[in-house]
């Protein structure tokens, strides 16, 4: 019984890893950083969303550059 | 149609094209009765998942916390979709070939032994897994977009509508799924998911977007322009490079379920 539960937990963990992180751990990390960045920017008001969008696009650009370099 | 329903519809359509390829391969090689039963059982389970996870989220999680979590999930999915679509559009990653996937799946299934006269467990299981695994991503998108707008039922209906349209189109086109402009749809949906993701993440954290919900449309345009420019730049870099790097086979990059 314990081994079945262990297998299920391991399977679920592997599935979640593939689903959210997979071959782009850099993008996952960037989104985690973006959450903190968003809270830090919220106090600025006005156009605080602009640096957040720029940060996200820069992360995507960096991920693309890494993919091209690695190919 | 509101933008978030369009995003759900597009995402569901792309995933269902991929699922339909597997269901058709299972149907042709192992019989359509078992394949369709497997696909239907998976669809039922996906609908139950939407209700079981989505309804408590809508009713019990504070809206701002929900929006930050939902925004983060949408951003992870959207950026992954966009990245893959840009690399494919720039010729840096091989396009997914539905005809090839169909042929490979059919060949593999035909080697699994004779088809029984009654229900075929192999055909059922392959179709079930194909629809369920492709559908989980749609479920995440339905729950994320539906819950953040408090319109879970509308989002689920849009996803089911897309599955129905793809199913009917697939039956009429008789397997010519490779003619679906999958990468274009993936680029547009990736831009939409990323836009909703960054918008909800910011809104949930307390950022006030200029123009409120109108900012989402501007974000979609911004991500679309970014994707178009990135594809152009990567193509240019590829042409100027001293050696022609062949595109990475899709199978190697398809390691994740995204």
Look at residue B129 and tell me if it is in a domain: yes
Note whether B123 and B35 are within 8 A (CB).
yes
With an 8 Å Cβ cutoff, are A43 and B206 in contact?
Answer: yes
Reported ipTM:
0.89
User: Any idea where the domains of chain A sit in the sequence?
Assistant: 23-71
CB B92 to CB A71 under 8 A? yes
For the record, the structure tokens of A19 come out as 């689903």
**Taking a C-beta distance cutoff of 8 angstroms, is the pair B155, B145 a contact?**
yes
CA-wise closest residue to B133 among B69, B38, B252, B197: B38
Beta carbons of A35 and B205 less than 8 Å apart: yes
Per the structure, how many domains does chain B have? 1
Nearest CA in chain B to A14: B256
Q: What pLDDT was estimated at residue B154?
A: 93
> Does residue B256 lie within any of the structural domains?
no
Please tell me the distance from the alpha carbon of residue B85 to that of residue B76, in angstroms, as a whole number: 14
**B13 Rama class: left (phi>0) / alpha (psi -120 to 50) / beta:** alpha
Q: Is residue B11 domain-resident? A: yes
Closest among B14, B28, B15, B13 to B104, alpha carbons compared: B28
Contact in structure between B55 and B151 (CB atoms under 8 Å): no
Contacts of B109 (CB under 8 A, 6+ apart): B25, B26, B29, B30, B122, B123, B126
Domain that holds residue B228: 3-247
Mutate to test the interface with A, among B49, B74, B76 (most CBs of A within 10 A): B76
| Distance separating alpha carbons of residues A15 and A22, to the nearest angstrom | 9
Whether B215 sits inside 8 A of A47 (CB atoms) is no
Closest CA to B245 of B254, B258, B256, B234: B234
pLDDT along chain B (258 residues), means of 10: 87 88 87 90 93 87 88 93 92 78 82 75 90 90 87 92 88 66 88 94 90 89 96 84 55 43
B253 assigned to some structural domain:
no
**pTM for this prediction:** 0.82
Collect all residues with Cβ–Cβ distance below 8 Å to B202 and sequence separation of at least 6: A38, A41, A42, A48, A49, A52, B71, B209
What are the tens digits of pLDDT across the range A19-70? 888 888 999 999 999 999 999 998 887 678 899 999 999 999 999 999 988 7
Token pair of B30 as six digits: 């192992």
């Amino acid at each position: 019984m314990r081994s079945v539960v262990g297998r299920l937990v391991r399977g679920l963990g592997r599935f979640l890893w593939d689903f959210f992180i997979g071959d782009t751990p850099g993008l996952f990390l960037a989104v985690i950083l973006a959450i903190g960045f968003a809270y830090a920017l919220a106090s600025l008001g006005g156009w605080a969303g602009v640096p957040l969008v720029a940060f996200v696009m820069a992360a995507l650009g960096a991920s693309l550059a890494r993919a091209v370099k690695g190919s | 149609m509101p933008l978030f329903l369009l995003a759900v519809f597009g995402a569901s359509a792309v995933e269902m094209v991929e699922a339909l390829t597997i269901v058709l391969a299972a149907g042709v090689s192992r019989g359509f009765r078992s394949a369709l039963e497997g696909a239907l059982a998976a669809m039922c389970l996906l609908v139950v998942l939407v209700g079981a996870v989505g309804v408590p989220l809508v009713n019990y999680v504070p809206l701002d916390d929900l929006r930050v979590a939902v925004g983060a999930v949408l951003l992870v999915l959207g950026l992954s979709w966009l990245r893959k679509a840009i690399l494919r559009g720039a010729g840096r990653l091989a396009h997914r070939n539905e005809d090839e996937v169909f042929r490979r799946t059919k060949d593999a299934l035909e080697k699994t032994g004779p088809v029984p006269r009654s229900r075929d467990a192999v055909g059922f299981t392959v179709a079930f897994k194909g629809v369920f695994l492709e559908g989980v991503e749609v479920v995440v998108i339905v729950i994320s977009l539906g819950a953040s707008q408090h319109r879970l039922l509308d989002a689920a209906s849009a996803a089911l509508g897309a599955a129905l349209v793809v199913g009917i189109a697939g039956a009429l086109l008789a397997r010519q799924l490779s003619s679906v402009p999958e990468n274009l749809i993936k680029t547009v949906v990736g831009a939409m998911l990323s836009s909703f993701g960054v918008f909800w993440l910011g809104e949930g954290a307390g950022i006030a977007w200029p123009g409120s919900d109108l900012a989402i449309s501007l974000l979609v345009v911004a991500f679309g322009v970014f994707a178009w420019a990135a594809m152009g730049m990567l193509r240019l870099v590829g042409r100027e490079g001293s050696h022609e790097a062949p595109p990475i086979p899709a199978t190697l990059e398809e390691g994740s379920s995204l």
